[in-house]
Amino acid sequence: MAKLSYREAVAAAMAQEMRLDDRVIFLGEDVGAAGGVFKATLGLFDEFGPTRVRDTPISEQAILGATMGAAMTGLRPIAEIMFSDFFGVCWDTVVNEIAKARYMTNGDHETPLVIRSANGGGARFGAQHSQSIENWAMAVPGIKVVAPSNAYDVKGLLAASIRDPDPVLFFEQKAMYGNKCEVPEGELVIPLGEAATPREGTDVTIVALANMVPKSLKAAEILEKEHGILCEVVDPRTLVPLDTKTILASVEKTGRLVTVEENPRLCGWGAEIASIVGEELFWNLDAPITRITTPHIPLPSVDVLEDLVIPSVERIVDTISKMD
């Protein structure tokens, strides 16, 4: 198996699906000839040409509106919103149009589409190019939300998202684009709604997403070595649909839940998981549920401040080692 970077896995998944299905088309700013500002779509323009890989103006509302219109009329478009922060200028199209179209029309409209976007911090880009907004998306009925933590999952989950009949918001954590792991060269599809458990343990369940997964795995290593605490790390991979079975089974075993979230504190995705576990497994808990999040602040730019506020390996180790 070859090693692929997280960014190469994006292009690999799209190429895989575009070869299989000529209804799959792709649009966004600088995505074609330039291969994307993060170079995540390099090679697609050369292979599929300008009718299937289309550069757009800086018009996010037009990009997402056109994506929806194409999806409603038989195509399977993929759009790129360069930075997830830019959903602020086209959120209407996502939440009022794309998400509600099927329900409002009593099942008439079909909107099989994927919106990819670079999400999250760690690149020192400041408050308007670093947000983690997966919790905004999770709050809207009618869209699926995917946030992979490694190149293998990027390829398999993006392919599944493209094939999915529902609209999918696909969040790529931009600090992870260079991370490599082994990814099969052949067809890979990972069903949406199945959590992964990259580390098993008996003492504490850590539920982490995207870039918080490698940090949690590193923290789990340290916690075992230095504190003798065996952590199980669960990566939901998709927030909608949410694999609560895997999470609940893990917490039932460990009796302790910690969520590690990059989003700001209030209404982060972990709050929903904490609520589910609190309602359904309260009597199995041996300790209060603990959420490790970015504080409720916009992200600062400079490295010393950004690293201070986004959950770190040290903060995860410190928090868990002090749990009852």
Partner 1 sequence: MATAKAKSSSAGKIKIDKSQKLELYRIMSECRALQQRAYDLFMQNLVKGTTHLGQGQEAIAAAFGFAMREDDYTFNTYRGHNHNYVRGVSMTSILGELMGRDIGQLRGKGGSMHITDSSKGAMGSYAIIGAHMPIAAGAAWSAQYRGTEQVACCFFGDGTTNIGTFHEALNFAKIWELPVVYICENNQYMEYTPIGDVTAVEHPAADRASAYGLEPILVDGNDVEVMYETAMAALEKARKGGGPTLIEALTYRHHGHSRADPGKYRPDDEVKEWKENRDPLYGYRAKLLGEGIDEAELAKIDANTEKMIDEATEAAKNSPPPPAEIAYTDVFADGGAEWRN
What residues act catalytically?
129
Give the residue with the Cβ less far from partner 1, 201 or 236.
236
Give 232's strand partners: 205
- Residue 164 CB, shortest distance to partner 1, in Å, is 8
Of 37, 42, 66, 230, the residue at the interface with partner 1 (CB under 8 A) is 66
Give the residue with the Cβ less far from partner 1, 96 or 128.
96
Contact 112, 120 (CB under 8 A): no
**12 binds partner 1, rule: CB under 8 A:** no
Burial class for 46, CB neighbours closer than 10 Å (0-12, 13-18, 19+): exposed
**274 binds partner 1, rule: CB under 8 A:** no
Amino acid at site 268: G
Query: Which phi and psi angles does 205 have, rounded to 5°?
Result: -100, 120
Of 47, 49, 88, 96, the residue at the interface with partner 1 (CB under 8 A) is 96
- Residue 103 CB, shortest distance to partner 1, in Å, is 5
- Residue 142 CB, shortest distance to partner 1, in Å, is 5
Burial class for 249, CB neighbours closer than 10 Å (0-12, 13-18, 19+): middle
Give the residue with the Cβ less far from partner 1, 134 or 243.
243
**218 binds partner 1, rule: CB under 8 A:** no
Q: Tell me, letter by letter, the H, E, C secondary structure of 1-56.
A: CEEEEHHHHHHHHHHHHHHHCCCEEEEECCCCCCCCCCCCCCCHHHHHCCCCEEEC
Contact 213, 149 (CB under 8 A): yes
Q: Which stretch binds partner 1 (CB under 8 A): 153-161, 182-190, 238-246, 313-321?
A: 238-246
**105 binds partner 1, rule: CB under 8 A:** yes
| Site residues (CB under 8 A) for partner 1, limited to 40-59 | 51, 54, 56-57, 59
Give 93's strand partners: none
Q: Which residue has the tokens 């696909």?
A: 170
**165 binds partner 1, rule: CB under 8 A:** yes
- Positions that interact with partner 1 (CB under 8 A): 25, 51, 54, 56-57, 59, 61-75, 77, 92-93, 96-97, 101-110, 112, 141-142, 144, 164-166, 193, 240-245, 276
